[in-house]
Amino acid sequence: MSLVEPTGEFIRRRQVAGTTHATMRTVLDYADAGVQVTDEPAAAGGGGSGPTPLQSVLGALCGCEAVTFRRTATEFGFEYDRIDFEAACTIDIRGRSGDRSVRPHFQTVKLQATVITSQSQEALDELVEEVEARCPVMNLMKDAGVRLDVRWVAVAPGPQVRSELELPA
């Protein structure tokens, strides 16, 4: 059975090409958008020449949240200076090692988004409800059953406070 892709005025198609030479390193070509390398750390049998594929997914989550936030904030008239993201995940390596009773992807994902804004936390919370409903990568994770701990924090412009998100060592 072949995949029938949806078509129509509102459907957009994206693609990427990748090459690996029998190693854990993959060079990904996004055409006009550039090139990325993913790899595993040397301790896991890779060359350590780039983020792991799962780290890239965390990066995609941060990037997708940023794009979705920008679009939605513009629509809602919510002004902000910037967002600082911190993300962390846990995986159970038994899944990628062949234990089919264990998911091979994320077990948990923590995300803290610190929004530098003069808007209130309440206004941010209202906006974020819509952002989370619209963000494709966030919804992929929800649909995959990943346990999520997502925190959006409004911080007034000025000296910045780092998040309390515990990142794995």
pLDDT of residue 164: 54
Confidence of residue 165 (pLDDT cuts 50, 70, 90): low
Q: How high does pLDDT run on average in the chain?
A: 93
Residue 168 has pLDDT above 80, yes or no: no
Instruction: Dump pLDDT digits (tens) for 119-159.
Output: 999 999 999 999 999 999 999 999 999 999 999 999 999 86
Residue 163 has pLDDT above 60, yes or no: no
- Residue 133 tokens read as 């409903």
- Over the chain, what HEC string results? CCCCCCCCCCCCCCCCEEECCCCCCEEEECHHHCEEEECCCHHHCCCCCCCCHHHHHHHHHHHHHHHHHHHHHHHHCCCCCEEEEEEEEEECHHHHCCCCCCCCCEEEEEEEEEEECCCCHHHHHHHHHHHHHHCHHHHHHHHCCCEEEEEEEEECCCCCCCCCCCCCC
pLDDT of residue 13: 87
Superfamily (CATH H level) for 52-155: K homology (KH) domain (3.30.300.20)
pLDDT of residue 39: 97
| C-alpha 145: how far from chain center | 15
Confidence of residue 95 (pLDDT cuts 50, 70, 90): very high
More confident residue, 14 or 166: 14
pLDDT of residue 169: 46
Residue 114 has pLDDT above 70, yes or no: yes
Cα(108)–Cα(91) distance, integer angstroms: 7
For the chain, give every domain's residue range: 1-50, 52-155
Residue 166 has pLDDT above 70, yes or no: no
Among 9-13, 49-53, 59-63, 73-77, whose mean pLDDT is lowest? 9-13
